[in-house]
Amino acid sequence: MQFSDIFNDIMLYAREEAMRTGHMAISPDHLTLGILRHSDNAACSVMDDLGIVAADLRRHIEAGFFRSRSVPFSEQDNVNLTRESQNAVNMAMLETSMAGRDSVEAEDLLLGVIKCPESLTREYFEARAINYTVLRERIAKKAVRKDETETSPVLPGIIHTFVVSKKTCS
């Protein structure tokens, strides 16, 4: 199993978000902040479809744990995943496997985060009647729609472009 480039970018952003918010460890909510910061990914598109306003979610998370002092850049190698974040990544890998894919994506990570019982992300989603099952079904539905919009060439030599609508959560 591999991690997609988007997933890897999100993990880098999550570390930066942990440092920016004054934490020496990457929590599941920092993973969410990384997803939001990346913005051009399926997880953000699904959140948008579900009526989640990215700026509101970001404010909710930051209000819950923002510290006045950031972590200096010189300490970045000491900022690692919490046990709960590692569990979220493991859940993301399981979601990827259950979906029959080889590459862990942003939406898999979001599913892993929403399963974390103490996360502000989960709290925010549940206040809007969005739980793991609702999120997973929406992701699956979006994947089916994406597959339906992708077409293969009718004749050899004809270049087809994929028609995939993109929404960002910024």
Average pLDDT over residues 142-163: 42
Q: Which residues contact 89 (CB under 8 A, 6 or more apart)?
A: 81, 104, 109, 112
In tens, the pLDDT along 1-26 reads 899 999 999 999 999 999 999 999 99
Rounded percentage of the chain residues whose pLDDT exceeds 90: 72
Q: Where are the alpha helices (DSSP H) in the chain?
A: 5-20, 28-38, 42-49, 54-65, 83-98, 106-114, 120-126, 132-149
Please tell me the predicted confidence (pLDDT) of residue 146.
54
Higher pLDDT, 128 or 76: 128
CA–CA dist 130, 121 (Å, integer): 11
Indicate the burial class of 149 (C-beta count within 10 angstroms; 0-12, 13-18, 19 or more): exposed
Average pLDDT over residues 58-73: 88
2-149: CATH topology: Double Clp-N motif (1.10.1780)
Confidence of residue 159 (pLDDT cuts 50, 70, 90): very low
The answer, yes or no, to whether residue 151 has pLDDT greater than 60, is no
Confidence of residue 69 (pLDDT cuts 50, 70, 90): confident
The domain locations on the chain are: 2-149
Tokens of 89: 């990544």
DSSP string, 23-41: -SEE-HHHHHHHHHHH-SS
Of 51-65, 94-108, 125-139, 144-158, which gets the smallest average pLDDT?
Answer: 144-158
Bridge partner residues of 80 (DSSP): 25
Please tell me the predicted confidence (pLDDT) of residue 93.
97
In tens, the pLDDT along 104-129 reads 999 999 999 999 999 999 999 999 99
Confidence of residue 153 (pLDDT cuts 50, 70, 90): very low
The answer, yes or no, to whether residue 145 has pLDDT greater than 60, is no
